[in-house]
A and B are shown apart, each in its own frame.
Chain A
């Protein structure tokens, strides 16, 4: 059971999650025992937040209008959800059949990530009832990057929902609906990939006008490109980790044959991540060179920057490559963890840490902000678990009675889920 030790090396939370998600019917599982109080506490905090104002539960200030909920939940969470568009691109556009087994889980993860993490944006709005304004058309702020991002979130959620809908149809036994929805898959994937490219970069573009506030080592007019490229390997790393995790937790859902091919699949994903990180590293190096930033390296900020760029981009990049060459899943998973830490650091650097870096006041998230974030994550896991245990996400789809004659076609039809 060497695999079990690997996963428990990745921290108590994950191993506990694994051990808890396994039994379907039990109610008093440690995950439930911990997540339910968190969710209840989080809801309580939200009541205070919506009656007393944002300042009553957060450490947000006039200097730091965007804190942990935006910097982590939305900006980092969406980068982590980049796996969905990367994998659907690979499978449906490039027809890489190898990755077909993980499409459903990845799309589900992407969909839920958007619903919960982008949805967390609404918690941060001071006047959330006006959220309809930029949508219903009485106030179109075309000039705003955030307008673009919010619209793309909305449309992308719809696209993801459509991509996932054949699974729901299968689950419900709606054969005709499934066939219709499957026929739309290619269109929604094309639409989804396009939207993803735009809003992943759009999240970076939010900070373009914060030029004087972000430390020059992190500000660049190319922030949108950086966000886009880094969302590719952030997404792939997330797929590697959550795929590994799902394969442990929902073992009984998975066909043993698929389990065998999982190693090949992870190595393929690691290759993609390694190349993307290699390119990203040189992008950052180019900007470093162009802006002649070596003079900035001598400060503490310089060391922090090098930690992010060398320690959490270049090193995991080489680790991925090493893991691929030596077919070592352990190293690949460690690299994926480091990569995700690097993404968290990069997004938080831009949104919080190196934002208003010259001010004497600093922002730290309050415990309430962290609890609400944990609540969002727990709720997402609850929904994910609920869906996976009921719908054919990981397991082979149950053939619907009248669906059997289509069976041979299914393998060939790349465009259907």
Chain B
């Protein structure tokens, strides 16, 4: 019935940090895009 297998619940952690880093880079680009017109505000 029940099988005993090792489940690594942190398997995707590496990918998650990759996503985080790409998010930070993209956020900087996105914010710069938003700020560009006229540079005021």
Q: Indicate if the CB atoms of A321 and B34 lie closer than 8 Å.
A: yes
Chain A residues with Cβ below 8 Å from B30 are 274-275, 278, 321
Instruction: Tell yes or no: A285 within 8 A of B by CB.
Output: yes
Q: Which of A5-13, A126-134, A188-196, A323-331 contacts B (4 or more CB under 8 A)?
A: A323-331
Q: Which of B1-41 contact A (CB under 8 A)?
A: 11-12, 15-16, 19-20, 23, 26-27, 30-31, 33-34, 36-37, 41
Question: Does A289 reach chain B (CB closer than 8 Å)?
Answer: yes
In the complex, the answer to whether A286 meets B37 with C-beta atoms within 8 Å is no
- Closest-CB distance, A185 to chain B (whole angstroms): 26
Contacts of A286 in B (CB 8 A): 16, 19-20
Q: A-side interface residues toward B, CB under 8 Å?
A: 268, 271, 274-275, 278-279, 282, 285-286, 289-290, 292, 321, 324-327
- B residues within 8 A CB of A290? 12, 16
Q: Which residues of B contact A268 (CB under 8 A)?
A: 41
For residue B20, which residues in chain A have a CB less than 8 angstroms away from its CB? 286
Out of A274, A278, A324, name the residue touching B37 (CB < 8 Å).
A324
Interchain CA distance A268-B35 in the complex, whole Å: 11
User: Which B residue sits closest to A98, measured CB to CB?
Assistant: B41
Closest CB of chain A to B13's CB: distance in Å?
8
Instruction: Quote the shortest CB–CB distance from B33 to chain A (angstroms).
Output: 6
CB-CB under 8 A from A289, the residues of chain B are 12, 15-16, 19
With A275-B34, A324-B37 known, 20 other A-B pairs at CB within 8 A are A271-B34, A274-B30, A275-B31, A278-B26, A278-B27, A278-B30, A285-B19, A286-B19, A286-B20, A289-B12, A289-B15, A289-B16, A290-B12, A292-B12, A321-B33, A325-B33, A325-B34, A325-B36, A325-B37, A326-B37
The 8 closest A-B pairs by CB, nearest first: A282-B23, A325-B37, A290-B12, A289-B15, A289-B12, A271-B34, A324-B34, A321-B34
CB distance from B15 to the nearest CB of A (A): 5
Instruction: Judge whether B33 and A327 touch: CB under 8 Å.
Output: no
| Neighbouring A residues of B36 by C-beta, 8 Å | 325
Question: Distance in Å from the Cβ of A177 to the closest Cβ of chain B?
Answer: 38
> From residue B18, how far is it (CB to closest CB) to chain A in Å?
9
B21 to chain A, nearest CB (A): 11
**B41 cross-chain contacts in A, Cβ below 8 A:** 268
Nearest chain B CB to A42's CB is how many angstroms away? 43
